[in-house]
Amino acid sequence: MNNSVSYQELFDPDFLNSLAHLSMTVRRVAGGGRYGERLSRDMGTGVEFKDFRPYAKGDDLRSIDWNIYRRLGKVFIRLFDEQQDMPLYFMPDISESMFLSEKAHGGASSTRALAAFRAVLALTAVTTNHHDSAGLFPFGKQLQVVLKSKTGKASLMAFARHMSQLQPQSQSNLVQSLKKMASMNMRPGVLVIVSDFFLADGLQELATALRSVRHKLLFIQVTRKLDSDPRLQADLNGEVRLTDCESGEFADIAITPQIVARYQQAYKQFNEELSGIAASNRAGLLQLDADENVVEQLSVLFQSGSLSV
């Protein structure tokens, strides 16, 4: 039976303490936000000088550079980099496949959802260190707006509490969820999609839907060792009935070396297609093994202690 992920599994003090050395580097964020630590595309009253431009009616007189006026007799104002927050929007997959408890030979039973939620919580912890805002938009059959924008240390507890209350949905529709996300017209930021990306409509539909997304993209693909080698699955041999945990459809097949080889080739092509979509959208892509330490794997995203997006 599929279950939700408990609050205690998510809000682990040792897990959160392991995130202290991580930070996120952003080249420049969109304007219109709250004060933060990121350089905005807006020019404002920050501390780092950027450029000059001719004075225009309505400009702040305090920005006039009087030295230029005395030398040239022309009125220019000084422009500075404005520092604002960077919004992060998290879209964790809550379809049945994410909550399916799987066990490989000699391993403990676990779910992809726990790894996915811990990844979201880890990156949320990083954003709060920079006074950034974070939003939670889980998706299954449809997109849910759980937290639109949350800041401060309290956001960690709020995220953990809300994610522990999420229940698995029968199907996953990332394409429609992305369309709804785009229609909300939120300030451009970083959109983090955390999923196994096993989509009923296929990855080509995903590529099309991403064209309407204005945010920077980060894909976290939650995997299992069983994905690439189904022979690791306990009791998966001989004649078996395979049932889709979301649609309920089933197929009776005989597990042979030829069948395994065809599956592995299909899975390889699936990963290559997902990598191609990420590359064409200039998106980051991390394969997160649900059976391994989440923080150690997230560290791959961070160069010299920080993630650059």
Distance set, CA 83 to CA 42, 52, 65, 177, 273 (Å): 9, 18, 21, 31, 37
> Which pLDDT value is given to residue 28?
42
pTM of the predicted structure, to 2 decimals:
0.76
What percent of the chain shows pLDDT beyond 70? 79
Read off the pLDDT of each residue in 75-92 and give the average, rounded to a whole number: 76
State the number of CA atoms in the 13 A half-sphere of 110 facing the CB: 22
**H/E segment holding residue 130:** none
CA 11 to chain centroid = 19
For 236-287, the pLDDT digits (tens) are: 778 888 887 777 788 888 888 898 899 999 999 999 999 999 999 999 899 9
- What the chain holds in terms of domains, given with CATH numbers, is 7-25+88-225+282-299 (3.40.50.410), 35-84 (no CATH)
